[in-house]
A and B are shown apart, each in its own frame.
Chain A
Amino acid sequence: MTNEAFDDITKQKLQDYSAAIPDGLWDKIRMPAIIPPADQFDQFVQDKLFNYTGLVSLELWNRIKPEEDEDKKYFFFLPRAGMVAASILLLIVAGTVSAYLYYQKFNYPNNTIENSIQINNNKGNYQSKKNNTTKAKEEVQTNQINELAITPIENESTANSSQDNTSSVNDMSNSSTQKTNITIESMNNSSSLSFGIPKKQSQNIQFNNNHSSSETLINNSNLTEEEFNYIATQKFDVSLISFQNKSKKYISTEKQIAYTNHASSIKNVVICPTDQKMRNSDWDLEVYASPDYAFKTVSSNTASQQYMNTKDSSEKARLGYTVGFRIIKPINDHLLFKTGLQFSQINENFVYRSENEIKTTTVVTIRNIILANGNTVTISDTSVLQQIGFKNNSVKNSFRSIDIPVLIGYQFGNDDLRIGINAGVIFNLSSSFKGVLLDSSLSPKPFSKETNSVYKNNIGIGIYTGINIAKRLTYNTSIFAEPYFRYNLSNSTTPLSTFNQRFSIGGLSVGLRLNLNNR
């Protein structure tokens, strides 16, 4: 019987079969899940190690997160001197920023006063603002605050501010007819003081007290005599109250002068950010190498045209190079002063054909010699083979120089990428020449620094200009590329030479800029 046949029989027999569910079957089904017994070993380990703590070696952490350790080295693993320098620098920067922000805040109230007055002036008559409720609040640390904060000026002007928009004094005088309520929220001398002036609106003046750094809000309004006396008993500055009561004027310009005088004392001890910007204490070192290509300008002095033509066809410029270093002193964030020392070598190929050249080659010849007795011996003879022909000689002429660049650079950009322009002069210290040159008979003649009478030993001054592109690699290391052009102002040949020759050099310096401050 196959499986299919068995299935068919079963289906036919049981298709319509039904039976009652026995009692308790559903209860058995609903029995709670059987919880397997806990592993005793696991339980034992858990009990022993659950609260266990142990030291983790640094090496283990190095294995787990080595990159983070590398990153930490940038600051925390600096040398001691570097950390000190970095800390000092950090303090300078922090102090400078704080002073800068403080200075900015110090100037800010002046603007607020002026703006507030201006707004009120534009509004015209203060009488139209009766329904406005203004609360003046002044927080003071000592009672001397009023002595140094406001200097009253007698001004009996009663001009209507609606007709004179240029004076805040007049604005205040206009409010002298308004009823003013003064509410002392706290009578403690060291606490804050508030002047409540309900339903009276004159002018809001907000300023910062430089000594306490607290914020003072004065609602200038008319005071009753009781209110004045009360304030006087609380040792407030009577002059202020008297001023407010008598002249009912508030001289905001004088207030500005007071603040300015106060701020000047701060500026004497803190370097403001703008000053700091002008003083860059960095020293940088540039180390660079450059492939160079020399452009030659040649003219005849006493040489024949044939000589010039032969010289021109014999000489071909080759790639030279420059290596050197420059010390950089940033004047500010944009201007740089650079100087250093560099070695340059201009190369050119001197090609000429020499005739009747003998080429000597050692050869081994093997000969079978028949001796007198008839025997044959094989003789291996080492001898010299000479061949005659011509040579196409290629000689490398080298023009070497040691120079001092003196450059001024201007750079801009962000910390990550900076672009700059360098320009200046290059002073030649020494020049030497080695190679082959045509003599008057158009024959190649070797020359060196000792035997040279054609080229100068010092080519003088050259003009330098280049465009510098620097990409920061780390906090104190940048890589830079600088395409440049150098134009020599004088000939490299002596006046006695039959021709005049001057080199101009173009190149691409590539190097590293290292910060010497060891940050």
Chain B
Amino acid sequence: MYLTRRNINMIRMRFFIMIIILASFSACNKDLSDDFRQYPNNAMNDTSWSANISSNAALNGILDSTLPSMMIDSINLNTADTIRFANNVELSFPANAVNNPTGYTISGKIKVEMLPLLKKGDIIRALQSTTSNGALLEIFGQVFIKLSNNGRELILAPSKSIKIRIPDTQDNPLPAMIVFKGRESTPPPPWGKDTSATWLRSNDGSTIGTWYKTGSGPNMKGYEFTTQNLRWVSGGKFADSTVPKNKLTVILPPNFTIKNTVAFAVIENSKTIVELKANYASRSFEANNIPLQKKLTIITLTKIGRDFYYGNRSINDIGNIAIYNVSPEKRSLKSILSELDKL
């Protein structure tokens, strides 16, 4: 039985349409398809927050990579001696000034480790801030001094002081500076960042004077202060507390959490660095007492897995509602250190 002409034309038309559709389908066919599966235990996929930072948090791994190198030397405790490190940093010990932890005087040679943090970038690399219980400090530098003998850390003998000379990076040392000592957790964490650390004014009679070097070599100006404290020592002053202040809040993308990120506010024209503490409730980083009408830069450092992320945002004035978001970028460690060195 033959079909009608109308049906035949319909069959022809459908056939040609089918060919056209087939050709179009071929031309528009998506070539690539993917099936993404998360790694179950990868740090990047962990976007959760915790109230406290665990000792094995990725955050602590940042310090291993960014902390400037310690300057190491030795000194004979039997006589007074001075160690001259690089960058014109000097450390002078009187004779018999060191005891072991139990209080007995140590003699002979001991190991001396010193870490001067003279620039803003150095302070951030050490994950340090310049605040004293929330109050902002304007410092000229921080020094970490560690004495040890056979792996045991030593302390200064009572009433003994060491003298520290550090150059002023501005070559213009200011008067009326005071000594601050770092208060650490007890005991301090063997590794990583001490989240409880702060700076306290030293009340042990430590003093700071200016230091001028002339003669051979380039002339140099700096600070010379005496202290009865080892480990973290700083010199500076409290920032002006009368200026208007506000709370600064920084929001980061979900990948950047309390476990892997530290954030700082770097005040311009002042060696003042404020660490923004992680707020678990709001999943943000915040700090009080940030001065208004001052330029500052928000810096974030993140380590996820083996990768580093660097966040940077400049603000002229944080304003009344000081909530800012920062989008860190994946950067090499070298690049990040270079950026920090420019601060």
Q: Which residue of A lies closest to B34 (CB)?
A: A391
Q: Are A388 and B2 in contact (CB under 8 A)?
A: no
12 A-B residue pairs with Cβ-Cβ distance under 8 Å, sorted by A, are A67-B4, A70-B5, A71-B4, A323-B19, A323-B22, A359-B36, A369-B249, A372-B247, A385-B47, A387-B38, A388-B42, A394-B35
- In addition to A287-B19, A473-B11, A512-B15, 18 A-B residue pairs with Cβ atoms within 8 Å of each other are A74-B5, A287-B16, A289-B22, A321-B22, A365-B251, A365-B253, A372-B245, A379-B251, A385-B255, A387-B45, A388-B45, A389-B42, A393-B33, A435-B31, A472-B2, A473-B8, A474-B3, A479-B11
Q: Any chain B CB within 8 A of the CB of A367?
A: yes
A395 within 8 A of B: yes
Give the distance in Å from the alpha carbon of A215 to the alpha carbon of B12 in the complex: 55
CA distance A390 to B47 in the complex (A): 18
Q: Are B288 and A372 interface neighbours, CB within 8 A?
A: yes
A379 to B284, CA, bound (A): 11
Describe A's contact surface by its main secondary structure. Answer: strand
Asked if B36 and A391 sit within 8 Å, CB to CB, the answer is yes
Cβ contact within 8 Å between A387 and B44: yes
Enumerate chain B residues within 8 angstroms of A395, measured Cβ to Cβ: 31-32
CA distance in complex: A512, B38 (Å): 51
Identify which of B196-204, B217-225, B320-328 touches chain A.
Answer: B320-328
**Is B246 interfacial (CB 8 A cutoff)?**
yes
Chain B 144-164 against A: per-residue CB contact (8 Å), 1 yes, 0 no?
000000000000000000000
CA distance A372 to B319 in the complex (A): 11
The answer to the question of B23 belonging to the interface, with a C-beta cut-off of 8 Å to chain A, is: yes
A511 to B18, CA, bound (A): 11
Closest residue of B by beta carbon distance from A379: B323
What count of chain B residues pass the 8 Å CB interface test?
A: 49
Known: A386-B44, A395-B31, A477-B8. A369 touches B284 (CB 8 A): yes
Question: B214 at interface (Cβ–Cβ under 8 A)?
Answer: no
Q: Do B327 and A388 have beta carbons less than 8 Å apart?
A: no
Closest to A391 in B: B34
Q: What is the CA–CA distance of A379 and B286 in the complex, to the nearest angstrom?
A: 14
A383 adjacent to B11 (CB under 8 Å): no
B282 at the A interface (CB under 8 A): yes
A363 in the interface (beta carbon within 8 A): yes
Query: A367-B284, A384-B327, A390-B39 are known contacts. Are A477 and B12 too (CB-CB below 8 A)?
Result: yes
A16 on interface, CB distance cutoff 8 Å: no
A369 to B281, CA, bound (A): 9
* Complex Cα gap A377–B251 (Å): 13
- A428 close to B (CB within 8 Å): no
Segment 374-413 of A: residues with Cβ below 8 Å from B: 377, 379, 381, 383-396, 398
Among A73, A287, A388, A394, which residue has its beta carbon within 8 angstroms of that of B44? A388
Q: Are A377 and B321 in contact (CB under 8 A)?
A: yes
- Which B292-343 residues have C-beta < 8 A from chain A? 305, 321-323, 325, 327
Q: Is the CB of B15 within 8 A of A371?
A: no
Chain A positions within 8 Å of B5 at CB level: 70, 73-74, 474
Quick check: is B259 within 8 A (CB to CB) of the other chain?
A: no
Give me the interface of A with B, judged by CB distance under 8 Å. Answer: 67, 70-71, 73-74, 287, 289, 321, 323, 345, 357-359, 363, 365, 367-372, 377, 379, 381, 383-396, 398, 434-435, 472-474, 477, 479, 511-512
- Chain A residues in 8 Å Cβ range of B33: 393-394
Whole-angstrom distance between the alpha carbons of A393 and B33 in the complex?
6
> Is B323 a contact of A384 with CB atoms below 8 Å?
no
Give the docked Cα–Cα distance between A396 and B31 (Å). 5
- CB contacts (< 8 Å) of A479 on chain B: these are 11
Bound-state CA distance A121–B36 (Å) is 101
Q: Counting CB contacts under 8 A, is B283 at the interface?
A: yes
Which residues of A sit under 8 angstroms from B288, Cβ to Cβ? Answer: 372
Contacting pair B283 A367 (CB below 8 A): yes
Given the complex, which residues of B lie within 8 Å of A345, measured CB to CB? 26
| Least Cβ–Cβ distance between B42 and chain A, in angstroms | 5
User: Which B residues touch A371, using CB under 8 A?
Assistant: 247, 321
**Nearest CB of chain B from residue A446's CB, rounded to whole Å:** 10
Q: Contacts of A73 on B, CB cut-off 8 Å?
A: 5
With A377-B321, A391-B35 known as contacts, the answer to whether A473 contacts B2 (CB < 8 A) is: yes
Given contacts A386-B44, A387-B45, contact A392 B26 (CB under 8 A): no
* Minimal beta-carbon separation of A54 from chain B (angstroms): 31
For chain B, residues 243 to 275, give those with C-beta under 8 angstroms from any C-beta of chain A: 245-247, 249, 251-255
Q: Which of B29, B246, B255, B325 contacts A381 (CB 8 A)?
A: B325
**Contact of A363 with B12 in the complex, beta carbons under 8 Å:** no
> Is A392's CB under 8 angstroms from B35's CB?
yes
Alpha-carbon separation in the docked complex, A197 to B305 (Å): 129
> Are A394 and B32 neighbours in the complex by a CB distance under 8 Å?
yes
Smallest Cβ distance from A344 to chain B, in angstroms? 11
Q: How far is the CA of A370 from the CA of B246 in the complex (A)?
A: 12
Contacts of B36 in A (CB 8 A): 357, 359, 387, 389-391
Q: Is the CB of A383 within 8 A of B254?
A: yes
Cβ of B45 and Cβ of A369 under 8 Å apart? no
Cβ distance A378 to chain B, nearest Cβ, rounded Å: 10
* The 7 residue pairs across chains A and B that have the minimum distance between CB atoms: A372-B247, A383-B253, A389-B38, A392-B35, A388-B44, A391-B34, A394-B33
B281: A residues at CB distance < 8 A: 368
* Bound-state Cα–Cα, A5 to B6, Å: 77
Question: Which residues of B are found within 8 Å of A287, using beta-carbon distances?
Answer: 15-16, 19
In the complex the two chains form, is A473's CB within 8 Å of B282's CB? no
A479 to B12 CA separation, bound complex (whole angstroms): 10
A1 to B282, CA, bound (A): 105
**Are A511 and B15 closer than 8 Å at their CB atoms?**
yes
B6 — nearest CB in chain A belongs to which residue? A70
**Nearest chain B CB to A335 CB, angstrom units:** 26
